[in-house]
Amino acid sequence: MSVIAVVGAASYEGRQLMLSLADEGRAHIGFDRRTSSKLEGDDPIERLNIESSTKLSEAFEKHGVTDVIHLPDRGTVAKSLKDPLDAFEMTLLPLMAVLRASATIGVKTFVLSSTASVYGTPERIPVPEKSTLKPISPLGAAAAGAERITTEVCRTQNIPLAILRYFNAAGADPDGRAAAADAPKHLITAAVKVALGHRKGPLKIYGNDYDTPDGTPMRDYVHVADVALAQIAAVDHLRSTGETVVLNCGYGEGASVQDVIHSVERVIGKELPVSIEGRREGDPSQLIADTAAIRQALGWRPRYNDLDLIVRTAIDWERKHGNA
């Protein structure tokens, strides 16, 4: 029997992946250094020191793990600029332990969650996977390093590898079982909290003089449930073909900060208080995925490609679970 291990299972993307695996009836087990919070259901997440390859090897053996999906705990671009070493430690130390454990027990496939931050400020939009990696933040540099390390290890160990470069995962589980962490690291989460009065406003917009139609940065927002489906599809692809792939995971459509604000206002039905601040270091003007490769390789077809739907799922979660 195939058993998928999710390392980083208590993270935002990890909790959704655990739910999606359960929904599809896939045998799976989650591991994290922390326990999951506000996750409905009874998915198996074991608290474990994921920087210990010995502990991971033992756990993988115990549960008969055959496939690994690794989700690094990256933090944010802003935090990485303040503490670069933390970004590298958080990204690379657990990864090396997971890779050694995976090689030790001889897993059949490995999926690495990466990030569009590896592209930095791309020369071409939408950005294809063959673009040169030029990260402009320690977070992006750490992710690029993680890709290189994982590629070399999996190549020498003959482990089929899928690297999925996620753009902006957003929203909440469509059935209301999980969502982003309480700390509003992402624009949609922050906007929803301000709109509902669960966070003191106004919402800060960092720069309105970018080279975009309305002057605010544009991003490719992809629903977290679609991200989970892409991860599962990547495992299936590796199992069936053994072909290592590097793929963008986004919708290939850009939404500006103003677009997100207008979406929140539409769904909530009231105006959102905002303030314009200076630009932040490490923010490219546009970051939008070329998605031809993931659609062709994985047969991935998004189910939730609608900004208002993404926002509505986040609002529904926040209304039920948010704290003023």
Per-residue pLDDT tens digits for 65-104: 999 999 998 888 889 999 999 999 999 999 999 999 999 9
**pLDDT attached to residue 321:** 85
Q: List, in order, residues 6 or more apart from 62 with CB less than 8 Å away.
A: none
**pLDDT attached to residue 36:** 54
Report, as ranges of residue numbers, the positions in the chain whose pLDDT lies below 50: 38-39, 324
Per-residue pLDDT tens digits for 8-25: 999 999 999 999 999 999
- Which residues make up the CATH 3.90.25.10 domain(s) of the chain? 187-217+253-288+308-319
Q: Taking the complete model, does pTM exceed 0.85, yes or no? A: yes
Q: How many CA atoms lie within 13 A of 324 on its CB side?
A: 2
Superfamily in which the 4-172+222-252+290-302 domain is placed by CATH? NAD(P)-binding Rossmann-like Domain (3.40.50.720)
The one-letter amino acid at 234: A
169 forms bridges with which residues in the sheet?
A: 222
**pLDDT attached to residue 179:** 82
Tally Cβ neighbours within 10 Å of residue 310: 28
**pLDDT attached to residue 181:** 60
Q: What's the DSSP call for residue 118? A: G
- As to burial, measured by CB atoms within 10 angstroms (0-12 exposed, 13-18 middle, 19+ buried), residue 45 is buried
Crossing angle of helices 53-63/84-105, nearest 10°?
Answer: 40
Q: What's the DSSP call for residue 29? A: E
- Residue pair 303/159 in contact (Cβ under 8 Å)? The answer is no
The whole-angstrom separation of Cα 65 and Cα 106 is 9
**pLDDT attached to residue 324:** 45
- Among residues 54, 151, 75, the alpha carbon closest in space to that of 111 is found at 151
The one-letter amino acid at 311: V
**pLDDT attached to residue 38:** 47
- Among residues 48, 20, 2, 11, the alpha carbon closest in space to that of 173 is found at 20
Query: Which fold is adopted by the domain 187-217+253-288+308-319?
Result: UDP-galactose 4-epimerase; domain 1 (3.90.25)
- Which residues make up the CATH 3.40.50.720 domain(s) of the chain? 4-172+222-252+290-302
Tally Cβ neighbours within 10 Å of residue 23: 16
Distance of CA 204 to the CA centre of its chain: 23
Q: List, in order, residues 6 or more apart from 10 with CB less than 8 Å away.
A: 30, 32, 34, 35, 36, 37, 45
b/e per residue, 134-159, with b = 16+ CB within 10 A? Answer: ebbbbbbbbbbbbbebbeebbeebeb
- Among residues 186, 191, 262, 261, the alpha carbon closest in space to that of 224 is found at 186
